[in-house]
Amino acid sequence: MRIYTGNIQTSPHECFKPAQSMSFPSNKHLTDDMHSTCADAATMRKARFWNRIARKYAADPIPDMAGYETSLQRTRGLLSTEHNVLEIGCGTGTTALHLAASTGCFLATDISAEMIAIAKEKLASQPTPQLSFALADADLPMSGSATYDRVLAFNILHLVSDLDQTLAKAAQALRPGGLFISKTACIAEMNPLIQHLALPLMRVIGKAPLIVQCLNETQLRAALTRQGLQIVSVERHGTKKKDFRVFIIASKPLATDPS
């Protein structure tokens, strides 16, 4: 279980123009600067954990390869070579490398510079013209409106600080009719000892990040609905015992004619 995440800084390809700053609700420059400073500090704290474990994370095998392949196949069937795609929390880029060829342009982001470095190493050995990698915090997704046909969030939503904010930014980034495709570990559905004992102990010894949300499927569906996204499908792709990862496809409604 990845316990992650992914402000856009650079992109090796010019498929998209990353946002260079984030906007905040206050119109006072001082307040904006304070928000920005706090966001930067939080991002640095989160990045340190993933930078430290990146190489080990990259070397760990996928525990349920059959389930992973099912999720890949399902997602690939929802992509086309005309689509602009954003992935938040891409980790070391394995999923992006599998999917990018089925898209027109694919930007994969992560908070960890080490994760992105590994992803770029993989890309160098497996050139994929559609694909680019960039640093980004999933708690502060790329700003902009109606830019992407698909936004992907695999094994990341339980790791963001503010789920509603992340989903609101994702919905904003989607074009009308676009899809938000996610797969999330539902820790609240696991043995309660994991939530109340194992995770706190793992944080103390540096084996888990500070932020891990203990969500269930009902909470995820409700969070998506709160942001105006319509649930299309809810699936479980695991092949080993009970599957605690929920795969959800949600759509951004088409704009309605005011007349």
Walking along the chain (259 residues) 10 residues at a time, the average pLDDT comes out as: 36 34 32 47 86 94 96 98 97 98 97 97 98 91 79 97 95 96 97 93 90 96 98 96 95 73
Rounded-to-integer distance, Cα 245 and Cα 238, Å: 7
Q: How many CB atoms lie within 10 A of CB 128?
A: 18
CB 10 within 8 A of CB 134: yes
What domains appear along the chain, each with residue ranges and CATH number? 29-251 (3.40.50.150)
Rounded to a whole number of angstroms, the CA Rg of the chain reads 18
171 phi and psi angles, rounded to 5 deg: -65, -40
- Assign 108 to helix, strand or coil: strand
pLDDT value of residue 40: 76
pLDDT value of residue 257: 46
Residue appearing with tokens 């905040």: 24
β-bridge pairing 230-235 and 131-135: unpaired
β-bridge pairing 84-88 and 148-154: parallel
Sorted by sequence, the CB contacts under 8 Å of residue 23 that are 6+ apart come out as 143
The pTM score is 0.84
Sorted by sequence, the CB contacts under 8 Å of residue 73 that are 6+ apart come out as none
223: tokens are 């969070």
pLDDT value of residue 46: 86
239: tokens are 């092949």
118: tokens are 């590994």
171: tokens are 């919905």
CB 112 within 8 A of CB 54: yes
Element (H, E) at 97: helix 94-99
The counts of H helices and E strands in the chain are: 8, 7
Rounded-to-integer distance, Cα 20 and Cα 135, Å: 12
